[in-house]
Structure 1
């Protein structure tokens, strides 16, 4: 009797597990598509075939990524990779450089290493796809979607429901304003004037995306760029923990970006913008130094085929400027689910998806 009961329970358990797995396999993502704009923090291969120093399709990049080096500026997944998983997608968005056929239906990644809000940003490193060019590429994708879906109204409704990730601006400082040997912006503008200029231009770019059908925007502020190992090596700290002038510049930018999000929510009908602060608690991480031997690219990237540290999950920085997969996971976790208005304002990505 006991044996039969156990067998019956076993059959029931297997049946329940089968239903759960079947439902999980058939589960739909929380939004129909996810479009990614930005720089090296989000790039997943768009720079691979460009003539630029800002590309990382070589070892040890991707050492913790399932298929190895892909063009991601990390040892593994990026913040947007984790967000994609949290939203329920089964694969990452293809880079625009590899977009074709129906693989664009769930979204596209347009991000490019060294890219900026300003077109000239990063030019001393070679080719890159500025935010303006990324938006032009998005318009190309919209035309492809129209051909695939053969219905203008359905395509517009689809675009209204997608999330648009924008994480850009760091290069407008580290590869523009603070490179006076290549750019004149620091001679033309004070830090506060430059931040105002950048956010004004970004505002126009976001409005352009809105006019193409975008409604749900996840807009990231700048991190403490002055605490990156290469920034400290390049500029020195004058006794501080980090490079204060870089962190102050990032703060000026963020102080203008936050009210812009509120303004756009008020001014643009049906728009849902949220501001995300990429700065989780770092007390359990190694905050100084990089995990790989730097010297590649413009000096801040890992040397090709160099051997990285073994305790990668403890480091914030993978190379001279870019975070490890472990840190990216923390940033994504906060962006997706934080209830703090200091980290996600007015709402996190999980709530944005439901709107």
Structure 2
């Protein structure tokens, strides 16, 4: 167990069904006062575009080394993937450029198309990997800094219009649940499971309210995926119990989270004027892909493409930059759901983004992401 102490740091994601290519014509801004519908992203490693490259953290919380990035960028960017992540695809569908990470945008001075604040390993609780990540509260503070700069650059009227028309994507919570199991934390003994889930969701709701106070109206919110069934959790269970399968207690926590979060969003819609949301049932979507990989053009949904150990579930992808120096790399990443011990392949990220964009009613409700860029 000690060898796995620092192993899990990020979060995850995936799934979908590849649908028709979206078409959306948006005017390109010819000057600073004309803008597209901007995209702002908050969250963990599923959304991190490389923000952790700029903070003082461990290499285990970074992905700025090969083979990350191999499928699309050819060089590592800090994305925890072989290629693009979901916000990259949503930006593409919306005819936006790649949305820069906060530190990149600061250096380039470009905020009008949006900013990505996500940080690998981040949670909604500030205690989750404290000091090594940009937690959700800090991400929201960075967003407030951006809102202030936009007001100074565009003026009150145009900055308010940009912020109110923008789309806000949030994917957070996974690390809050995985962390206690990985670090031998006693926090789950301090609180009941219900109390702990309430704290995690409470911080997510508070973040949404703070963004709303700055003008945000359209939100895309991820559920937590089936954390007990990712390659890392399968390897952890096998090491602890010598049995294969999903890690049950983690599954129970994620199911509790995913039952409570939609109810909170419904309440927000009732109490916050003009608040609209698209909830992505990530848990069900990922489970379906794990159970029926061939339906999504996959051959392997339990073992990762890159890693070592059972299910390639040890955090060894990248070798010299990881705790475990040796690793295996699959021949065809397109056959796999997971790229490494927790993160999906670019192929799955594209499937997920397409699912979100088109708003498959089996997984996305009540609005498609596409409608947020076209209407309201």
The residue aligned with 2:197 is 195
Q: Please state whether the residue corresponding to 1:287 is helix, strand or coil.
A: coil
Matches within 5 A, 1:65-80: 65-80=72-87
Q: How many residues end up aligned between the 2 structures? A: 324
Structure 2 portions without partners, runs of 5+:
1-22, 30-34, 321-326
The residue aligned with 1:304 is 319
Within the candidate set 267, 271, 275, 1:271 is matched to 275
Note the C-alpha offset of 1:193: 2.3
Q: Please state whether the residue corresponding to 1:200 is helix, strand or coil.
A: helix
The residue aligned with 1:142 is 147
The residue aligned with 2:343 is 322
Matches within 5 A, 1:1-355: 27-28=27-28, 31-50=36-55, 51-52=57-58, 53-89=60-96, 91-100=97-106, 101-123=108-130, 127-149=132-154, 151-175=155-179, 177-179=180-182, 181=184, 183-236=185-238, 239=243, 241-278=245-282, 279=285, 281-282=288-289, 283=292, 284=294, 285=298, 286-294=300-308, 299-304=314-319, 308-340=329-361, 342-353=362-373, 354-355=375-376
Moved over 4 A (4+): 23-31, 237-240
Is the 8 Å Cα contact of residues 45 and 97 (structure 1) preserved in structure 2? no
TM-score by length of 2: 0.80
Note the C-alpha offset of 1:308: 2.1
Q: Please state whether the residue corresponding to 1:48 is helix, strand or coil.
A: helix
Q: Please state whether the residue corresponding to 1:114 is helix, strand or coil.
A: coil
Higher relative contact order (CA closer than 8 Å, sequence separation 6+): 2
Is the 8 Å Cα contact of residues 220 and 280 (structure 2) preserved in structure 1? yes
Query: In the aligned structure 2, how far is the partner of 1:97 from the partner of 1:153?
Result: 26
Query: In the aligned structure 2, how far is the partner of 1:200 from the partner of 1:294?
Result: 36
How big is the alpha-carbon RMSD for the aligned residues of Structure 1 and Structure 2? Answer: 2.4
The 10-residue stretch of structure 1 (246-255 or 24-33) with the greater mean CA deviation from structure 2? 24-33
TM-score by length of 1: 0.85
The 10-residue stretch of structure 1 (191-200 or 262-271) with the greater mean CA deviation from structure 2? 191-200
Is the 8 Å Cα contact of residues 26 and 94 (structure 2) preserved in structure 1? no
Structure 1 portions without partners, runs of 5+:
1-22
In terms of Rg, which structure is larger? Answer: 1
Query: In the aligned structure 2, how far is the partner of 1:31 from the partner of 1:249?
Result: 39
Is the 8 Å Cα contact of residues 115 and 130 (structure 1) preserved in structure 2? yes
Residue-by-residue CA offset, 1:157-184 (whole Å, 9 max, x unaligned): 1100000000000000112x32452x33
The residue aligned with 2:10 is none
